[in-house]
Amino acid sequence: MAAIYNRVALIGLGLIASSMAHAMRAEGLAAEIVGYARSAETRATVRELGFCDRVTDTAAEAVAGADLVVLAVPVGAMGALAEEIAPHLAPGAMVTDVGSVKQAVIAAVVPHIPAGVHFIAGHPLAGTEHSGPRSGFATLFRNRWWLLTPAEDADPVALARLRALCEGMGANVDVMDAPHHDLVLAVTSHTPHLIAYTMVGVADDLRRVTDSEVIRYSAAGFRDFTRIAASDPTMWRDVFLTNKEATLDILGRFTEELFALQRAIRLGDGDHLHKYFTRTRAIRRGIIEAGQDTSAPDFGRSGTTAAPGA
C-alpha cells in the first residue's frame, strides 16, 4: 500500500502508539515515523526496539515537518502538550489523538491549534492490560473500531485521509459527535473499568478471605476483573476526571439495576433473575456476532488479545 502520510510524529510511545508504528510499518502507511516520549528511559527503549525511524529528545523536534501528529498521552496532559507543540506544527498538518474521552480533549487541544492546521479527535477501541513501548504489536487494531469525532467544519479531504490510515491499520472506522462518544464509552468501557477496580478492591478488603485464596481460587470472572483492573492507572484517573458527567450518569443507572437485583435475591425472585440474565446473555451473543470477541473459552487471555474499549 502507498504511504498515506510522509512523516508521522507519535507523541507518547506506549501500547497504542507503538502498535500504530508496527502497523504502519507492516502496511507501508508512513514514509517516516518519528517518536517522542517524556521519559528518557522510554526513548532509549524505543531506540533499542527500532519501531520508529527517529526518536527525538523534545516534542517540538518530533513534530517538525510532520504531516500527521498523534497525541498518545494521558487525557489530562493533552492541553499542555498541544500548547507546547503548536508553534512547531507544519501548515496543513493533521493533529489527532487516541484518548478515551473526546469532549475534554477537544476543549483542551483546539484552542492551541494554529490556523491552517487540522485537528480531528480520535479513539481506537483496542488495547490490552499491558502498557509501555514493548507491549505494542501490528495487529492490535485489526477488526476493532476507531471512532473519529470531527468538528462540523472539519476538512473532508483531511478526514478522508485520516480515515484511510485507520482502515489501513485494519480498523473499522465510524464517525460520531463527541458528546455521544463520551456517553457510549461511559457504558461500554469507563463504568465497567470502575466496577472492575471496585471488585478487585473489595476482594482485597475482605480480610475473611486471605490474599492467597483470592489468587489461588480465582474463577474466570474474577480473573477478568483483575485483567481489566491492571490497566494504566494514570490513564484511567484522567478518564474519570474528564468524563465525569457521563460516567456518573451510567454509574447511577448501574446502582439502580444493582438495587433491583439485590431485592430479587432477597425475595427469592428467581423469575426476575432468570429474565434479567437471559436478556444480558443476548448482549454477549451480539458482541460475538459483531466480531468483537470470540466464543472460545480463553479465560487466561493471551497477552496479544486486543480488548475493545481500552
Domain end: 117, 150, 176, which one? 176
Residue 310: inside a domain, yes or no?
A: no
Domain end: 176, 207, 231, which one? 176
pLDDT of 204 higher than 90 = no
**Domain check: are 171 and 227 in the same one?**
no
pLDDT of 304 higher than 50 = no
Residue 307: inside a domain, yes or no?
A: no
DSSP-assigned states of every residue in 184-224? HHIIIIIHHHHHHHHHHHHHHH-TTS-HHHHHHT--HHHHH
User: Rounded distance, CA 25 to CA 41, Å?
Assistant: 23
Higher pLDDT, 190 or 25: 25
Least confident piece of the model among 90-99, 131-140, 202-211: 202-211
**Domain check: are 258 and 163 in the same one?**
no
pLDDT of 39 higher than 60 = yes
Residue carrying the nine cell digits 462518544: 181
Query: pTM for the full model?
Result: 0.78
**Domain check: are 49 and 115 in the same one?**
yes
Amino acid at the residue 160: A
User: Could you tell me which of 149, 188, 133, 101 has the C-alpha nearest to residue 21?
Assistant: 133
Kindly give, in sequence order, each residue whose CB lies less than 8 Å from that of residue 139, ignoring residues fewer than 6 positions away: 23, 170, 304, 306
pLDDT of 294 higher than 80 = no
Least confident piece of the model among 35-39, 73-77, 199-203: 199-203
Number of domains in the chain: 2
Residues 249, 186 contacting (CB under 8 angstroms): yes
**Domain check: are 154 and 214 in the same one?**
no
**Domain check: are 70 and 19 in the same one?**
yes
User: What is the domain extent for residue 16?
Assistant: 5-176
Check which CATH number belongs to the domain holding 142 and give it.
3.40.50.720
C-alpha grid cell, residue 244: 465525569
pLDDT in tens, 165-177: 999 999 999 999 9
Check which CATH number belongs to the domain holding 280 and give it.
1.10.3660.10
**Mean pLDDT across the chain:** 87
**Domain check: are 50 and 158 in the same one?**
yes
**Domain check: are 11 and 131 in the same one?**
yes
**Domain check: are 111 and 198 in the same one?**
no
**Domain check: are 263 and 171 in the same one?**
no
**Domain check: are 105 and 218 in the same one?**
no
**Domain check: are 140 and 34 in the same one?**
yes
Mean per-residue pLDDT, 54-79:
96
Domain end: 115, 142, 176, which one? 176
Give how far the C-alpha of residue 269 lies from the chain's centroid of Cα atoms, to the nearest Å. Answer: 39
Mean per-residue pLDDT, 5-32:
97
pLDDT on residue 167: 98
Residue 158: inside a domain, yes or no?
A: yes
What phi and psi values does residue 150 have, to the nearest 5 degrees?
-70, 155
